[in-house]
Structure 1
């Protein structure tokens, strides 16, 4: 499931709670009194857990504005804050070497430039700090080239994930495989945490640490392997590994014996497929809506361009007409100037007395002509 919903009117899903918290439990031994960056924090439950586990400050980052808003509403406040950012632009938000611990769970499969993303993570880490990164094993959930999660840009095998991260961050201190578990717990009668039927998914933070659990050997070829794990986790640290070295955190979901009949994991897989099919349909719908909107804007742009071309043509015609009128006016002025100059030249050739006599005759002639009419 890509996103968990923490509104109170949603139904609690214990298996999803275990799957998501198991990843964050990996970082619990490293966050006490540390400044922590939680990349791709989603709805922020993990950032809140890191603070509850002793971090002095936690900054959650996610590309989704909706997720950041939800995270701030449900889990923000105190020493936990959230901002919107892409993984490739983290250095625009924070100073280099400003975090003691950086976690990035189920992020790298969404990133367009994973090398730049990992380089940013490395530069943001203080000397001697810790980096923990996980990646889903999409090839188990979607075993063919055609099948994929519509929100993941790439499916990684374990070797591809390890090679990519170590190529930027250097050799990992430890590599871990995440997967389901089975076994038995000794639970005090009616005193273990359980869904109250009204508080929704937020109940997943009502955790109870276990002190006396024991890891027994797995059956032959039944333990998680790189090809059939749910996800992979790598850690980079100069110190010692937290936890017991063999295992590094986990989340245990209490079940009754009836779960063997109902098959909680068998029931989970179809729901994962159905949820992802719904996501794929939603993604396709968004893509189609985006295409229609783009075509609408392109058509509007074409109409505007056509209108501008018509306006330009009219402007050119108006300019040509104005130039023509100006040319005609200049010709008329030139003709008048030439006539005046010619009059001046002719009048200069006639003696002044003769010119006065001729003008007097001309006036009398015009006056007698008007009188005849």
Structure 2
């Protein structure tokens, strides 16, 4: 059975599992060249898992110490290229047979970012990040506008003095994900994309939490979205129908309105339309449609009525985190 899969996350998970079970000690390096944070694809997850597993195993049969995985957007298809060690020639490659739905554009920094590391393991991927990434990474601090220090979460660096000009990011094995003493807003888990570093830099500069209205008539979906947003540090107000959402948005200013489209009372796009026509406190507030609609004509209808952005359901925590970056100034 085909379902909608967040393909970039799916690749991360499959790669992590394969490397965990492999007899070689291989360091992964994930490069996102799609230009987007999200790539949704309709597929059979079991079949896709099998294909990715075979592709990764093919590259691992050659690799000795490192595997570079590059995802690219080729005319709306996702292209996956694997490089073994320091080889410039592609070791394994595939392209999705059908088009992928991309969203949440990545805004790349105009100036260079210095990337440093404190451990041998992390150091093994730096040259690959610099040579393969679309991000302007450099190893020279004096030529960069921002400096990143990647450290192993197991390293004891709590008492070290870190310059205020340097952003420290912990790199942690996925097995530590449930350890509250390690997991925080400054932690990335193996394997991570180069663009996750850009996302984390933007997240760290947020001065105050966003106040967001979430409207959805599906209670499980509403609760899940609220929990993910609150975990990301947002203040959340909820409504379970369009009429209630409109009433709340008429009374209080929000930074974002997340509106399920098919709700009783009023559709999400109708809530957006009325808020604009009434010229109230949320007339200019970004209005985000939470929807399973994917056809261009259907999406166009939403935007014609006042929707300014859309997130395809089901929404993941990573998708929300990446989407919020553009408002977290």
TM-score band, normalised by the shorter chain? under 0.3
Indicate the structure with greater strand content: 2
> TM-score of the superposition, structure 1-length normalised?
0.25
The higher radius of gyration belongs to 1
Indicate the structure with greater helix content: 1
